Amino acid sequence: MAVAEMWATLKEAIETYTGLSVTTFFTVLAVAAAFYYAVAGFFEPPPPPRKRDAEGLEGVEPLPPPVQLGEITEEELRDYDGSDPNKPLLMAIKGQIYDVTQSRMFYGPGGPYALFAGKDASRALAKMSFEPKDLTGDISELGPFELDALQDWEYKFMSKYVKVGTVKTVPVTEGSDAGASGTTEQTSQTTEDAGIQADHGAQTKEDVITADLDAGKGDDTGRRAEVKENSSSAEGESGP
């Protein structure tokens, strides 16, 4: 009886002071409590790490800050493939070098993309190829879909990793062109001279053959004249 009287008194008080029914009042009260706990959760400090996690964090050395290398060659870039743990892990896309040391589990030794480290792997990333012949920065003859895929990779690297340098391209100097032209001209001249000498040799051989033929004809004519002369002498001696 006492509980029923208290509940009746509570209902009457709620309806009198709030103007709400009992069901509506408790619904509003529950929503308000949920909102309070949700907002309070944003300002609550994070819980302290567990002892085991804290010990693990203490054993991990922080990553060194990225070092700007400037312009280096592809040969120098190969030294940063992760084989030396004291060096940063680098990788290049479209000639731009990025420090991917923080993702050593992917690009370091034993990782799924370890063969890309220390190289400009633009072509391989565009084609999603793991063939050694595609581990190059040459992106010529790529299709539009492959170029779009490469662009997505470049955006990902630009937003996630620090650019530390560029890959140096080796230009073709004028001296090399002049040397190549000189060699070509020299080769052509040598070929031409050889042809002239061959023609001269053929002409000389032809002249020798002609002279031999003429000499043979002269001997034959002499022999014929000698035979004719002998015949005439014989006829004179046997004449009447």
pLDDT value at residue 193 = 54
pLDDT value at residue 180 = 46
Counting DSSP H helices and E strands in the chain, the numbers are 8, 4
In angstroms, rounded to a whole number, what is the distance separating the alpha carbons of residues 92 and 75? 13
Query: What is the crossing angle of helices 2-18 and 22-43, to 10°?
Result: 80
pLDDT per residue of the chain (240 residues) written in tens, 0 to 9: 677 777 677 777 777 777 778 788 778 888 888 877 777 776 666 666 666 554 554 555 677 788 888 899 999 999 999 898 889 999 999 999 999 999 999 999 999 999 999 999 999 999 999 999 999 999 998 999 999 999 999 999 999 999 999 998 766 454 444 444 545 555 455 555 545 555 555 555 455 445 454 555 445 454 544 434 444 444 444 443
SS (H, E, C) 32-100: HHHHHHHHHHHHCCCCCCCHHHHHHHHHCCCCCCCCCCEEECHHHHHHHCCCCCCCCCEEEECCEEEEC
* H/E element, 118: none
Q: Considering only CA atoms, which of 159, 59, 168 is closest in space to residue 100?
A: 159
Residue 3 Cα distances to 7, 14, 25, 138, 215, angstroms: 6, 16, 20, 86, 156
pLDDT value at residue 34 = 83
